[in-house]
Structure 1
């Protein structure tokens, strides 16, 4: 899947002071999460890092879960758009490389680890994380839908499940096995998802 998941050029941020403050605060929050994890995320510290008044941060976000939810929304909106090459394997390989690059990134990898860990015990963070991935999966699902239209995949293939299958092995390595997050692993994840989809595994 999407994310980037790391910030990209998927959408243009609106201008104005309010938007600049939000951008600065969310960047500071992401830095703090990557460095210290969820337990070390403090609104006053985020305000200091962002160079804004703490009352601004408390008034607009009010709590750490609310700030993290906004951070995830912004990341989903700014993530890089899907590739559409006319080839399912090339599209999903591009997706896998994007996910791998994000999870292996020295800032984004720890950031995602912190958010995922927090989501296991905080319902608001969990909902925000689920929304983030829903946005990214929807962004890439048309690549699979086009493949069905081209008769590359069986009719009734669940496009969302195919996209999820691409990134699942990469997240497993990040969170569980500690295996290498290299380009070969990303390409193998894409090939495995495509092979399973062609075999009808994801037909509803």
Structure 2
């Protein structure tokens, strides 16, 4: 029997629908290229009605974007409090690079999924806001210690986006020291 949900509440049936749909997309991504995955296959694999997939995510681009941000959040957790923003940001940025480098250069399936979502305009604000909330934790800790900080959006723009661009555009793995250079640039701007 297909899973369907008309509510947007967290937990319960809505959470099960999301979990089933994203798990199906992730499994299909290991079997075939992104552009060959269809909503019909996701519906069949997950047990979620195809109409639910379209209503909730707008189709494959929205599903791919949701999965990408979900996985990136899981794979790049907020580092523990090190007492120093520079140290925390370097650990975090190097973890992002290591995650992206775990795949063939330019072939991270989750980054590719995110790119599909961006190109189609299907990155819902609440998905990106979740990513920014993860980054904000480090910035709030630093501000409480009296360190100069910029916004989570600035951190994403100055550190995260260039790392993603390097992963997408370079035929080589992203160099780990890129994390240090970008973090130092962010901190210089914050102090400026």
- Give TM-score scaled by structure 2 length: 0.69
Residue matched to 1:152: 147
Matched-pair contact (CA < 8 Å) for 2:69–2:131: no
Residue matched to 2:176: 183
1:82 aligns with 2:78: yes
1:89 Cα offset (Å): 0.9
Residue matched to 1:164: 157
In structure 2, list runs of 5 or more residues that go unmatched: 1-9
Matched-pair contact (CA < 8 Å) for 2:76–2:96: no
Query: Separation in 1 of the partners of 2:62 and 2:151?
Result: 32
User: Which one scores higher on RCO, CA 8 angstroms, separation ≥ 6?
Assistant: 1
Query: Separation in 1 of the partners of 2:187 and 2:116?
Result: 29
Residue matched to 1:58: 50
Greater mean alpha carbon deviation, residues 186-195 or residues 87-96: 186-195
Matched-pair contact (CA < 8 Å) for 2:77–2:92: no
Offset from partner CA, 1:74-127 (integer Å, 9 cap, x none) = 44775654222211111111220232133223398223224314422x23x1x3
Change (3 A) 1:133 1:101: farther
In structure 1, list runs of 5 or more residues that go unmatched: 1-12
Query: Separation in 2 of the partners of 1:91 and 1:134?
Result: 20
Change (3 A) 1:102 1:14: farther
Structure 1 runs of 4+ with >6 Å offset: none
Give the aligned CA root-mean-square deviation in angstroms.
3.4
- Give TM-score scaled by structure 1 length: 0.65
Query: Separation in 2 of the partners of 1:104 and 1:193?
Result: 22
Give the total of aligned pairs.
175
Residue matched to 2:187: 194
Task: Identify which of 52, 63, 66 aligns with 1:67.
Answer: 63
1:58 Cα offset (Å): 0.9
Change (3 A) 1:115 1:190: same
Change (3 A) 1:80 1:44: same
